[in-house]
Structures are given as structure tokens and as C-alpha cells.
Amino acid sequence: MRKAVGFFLLFMTVSLLLSAVEPVRIADATPAGDSAVSSLALQLSLEKPGKYDISIERLSAEKALAKFNSGRADLVLIREVKLPEGQRNGILHPYAVGAAVFYVNPANPLDDVTPEHLIQLLSGPAPDWARVTGEKTRLYRLGLRRNAVGYGLPERMLKVKPGEFDKDMFRVGSNAELQLLTAGSAEALGAGIFSAVMPDTVKTLKINGVAPLLKTVKDGSYPFCERYILLVPAAPSPAVVAFVELMHGADFRRYLEESGRLSLLP
């Protein structure tokens, strides 16, 4: 009887081990949390309950890399600029890119600006175009509201502190709304984000001679790109491999577009 009970317990233990779901522990060090990865994880938990054990923890870049290097995180999501030169563990995969874009009305003669020009136009107490174009016409500053997709990206790209452009800036809830309002005034300047489909009712300014196009944003030649890196172990578990493969799919690409970014995965 004891042998039978012992065999049964051993059988149950082996069965549980074989059916156990391998975890995918994600350390998210992106500025506001990667909503596309969170959406993919939520979709998998709803569509295939019990098949995936995905956890996402928001951490600073330093803490995320420390967890990864010590084997306590399976994947790291991080901005390229936050990767230290000494990071040697794991394999780097650029997986997404966003870009800050500055919109004007097509009637505006301005075509090419420098970062310094933009800082002059977007900050300071007396908003007008005179400091850059010589035109003493009023300047209407438009930006993205907090919690809007892309909020804070123009400031990060221009390397100014948060809130630097808040004076005399009218903030809106979406990039589409920003484009619409910019199109309605020849005196407007909109600080927004890149979108794959641009309306012909607005014009995007070149930065140091480079226009924000699909090609220049993806290859990084446009100056105001923000690239996101996926750090994967050199020998990932099957569960991690499966999750990364799903990041190549159409659903994840759609989630990236909804978050104002483009996929860099093949």
C-alpha cells in the first residue's frame, strides 16, 4: 500500500513539473512603461489562460539591467540611450522606434530648423516667429497633453527638462488633434510625434536638413528618433523564445502603432 501511495505521489509530482508553465519575467525600463508589450501580455493571458506566465515589472534602467545580469529577469525593455557601454550580457534586438516631429502649416515658409531654433521658438516669454524667420507674427505653440501618446518625447529629444515648454503652449489629447489645429493656422507650431501616414494639410520641418520620413526614422538618420531595445538572454528558455516570436507578429505591430511607434523587428 505504501509503495502504491509513493508511486502515486511521485507520478503527481512529475506530472506537475511537466505541466508547469515557464515564467517570462520582463523588466520594463522604458520612460512610461511599454504599453505595446503590456497589451500583448494581456492578450495572451486572455486568449490562452494557463499557457503563459508573464510578469512585467517597471524599473529604472540600472535596476532592470542588474536583475537581468543576475538572472532574475528574462527580458529587458529599455531605451537605447540608457544602455551602458559595459553591458555585455545578452543579445540586443532593436524592436521599436518613435520620433518627435514638428509640424507647421504648409503656408509657413520655414522648412529646415536646428534644435536650437526649436528651443528658441518653444520656450521664452514672448512667442513669435521673429527670432528664427524674422517675421514678427504671433506664434501659436501646440503640444501633447500629459497621458497623450507621445507626451514628453519632443522635450526628451531637445534635451530640455519636463515642463520647459509649458508657458503659452496649448496642449491637446492626441497627435491627430495637434495636426488638425496646426493645419488651421499659418502661425502654429506643433510639437508632436511621427506617424506613418501624414495628412497633406500639415508640413513637417526638417531637422538639420533631414526630413522625418519612414526610411529616415527607421534607419535612425532623422535626428529626433528614440529607439527601444529588447535585451534577450544568450540561451533563452522556450517560453521566452515563444514570447519574442509573438513580438514579430501583426498584433504586436498594431499595439506599437497605437503607442506612436514603428516596429523594427523583421
Instruction: Give the domain ranges of the chain.
Output: 22-96+226-263, 98-219
Assess whether pLDDT exceeds 60 at residue 11.
no
Distant-in-sequence, close-in-space partners of 76: CB < 8 Å, separation ≥ 6: 26, 27, 29, 64, 65, 67, 68, 90, 229, 230, 231
Segment 220-240 mean pLDDT: 96
The DSSP-derived string for 180-202 is HHHHT-TTEEEEEE--SS--TTS
pLDDT at 8: 44
**Least confident window among 71-80, 115-124, 187-196:** 115-124
Higher pLDDT, 38 or 197: 38
Who's near 84: CB < 8 A, 6+ residues apart?
65
Lowest-pLDDT range of 1-10, 98-107, 171-180, 206-215:
1-10
Under the banding of pLDDT at 50, 70 and 90, the label for residue 126 is low
**What's the whole-number average pLDDT of the chain?**
90
Per-residue pLDDT tens digits for 62-78 = 999 999 999 999 999 99
Distances (CA, A) of 154 to 75, 126, 151, 181: 27, 20, 8, 18
What percent of the chain is helix, strand and coil (3-state, nearest 5)? 35, 25, 40
Contacts of 35 (CB under 8 A, 6+ apart): 255, 258, 259
Which alpha helices (H) appear in 29-149, and where do they start and end? 35-47, 61-69, 115-122, 130-133
Q: What is the mean pLDDT of residues 26-45?
A: 96
Query: Does this chain's domain 22-96+226-263 share its CATH topology with 98-219?
Result: yes
Q: Is 101 within 8 Å of 214 (Cβ atoms)?
A: no
Q: How confident is the model at residue 196 (pLDDT cuts 50, 70, 90)?
A: confident
β-bridge partners, 27? 57, 76
Q: What's the CATH code, domain 22-96+226-263? A: 3.40.190.10
* Residue whose entry in the numeric block shows the C-alpha cell 493571458: 45
Q: Residue 14 pLDDT more than 60?
A: no
The pLDDT tens digits of the residues spanning 131-176 come to 788 878 899 999 999 999 999 999 999 999 888 888 889 999 999 9
Q: In the prediction, which pLDDT does 164 show?
A: 86
Per the rule left: phi > 0, alpha: psi between -120 and 50, beta: everything else, 235 is beta
Element (H, E) at 258: helix 250-258
Out of 3.40.50.300, 1.25.40.10, 3.90.550.10, 3.40.190.10, which CATH number does the structure's domain 98-219 have?
A: 3.40.190.10
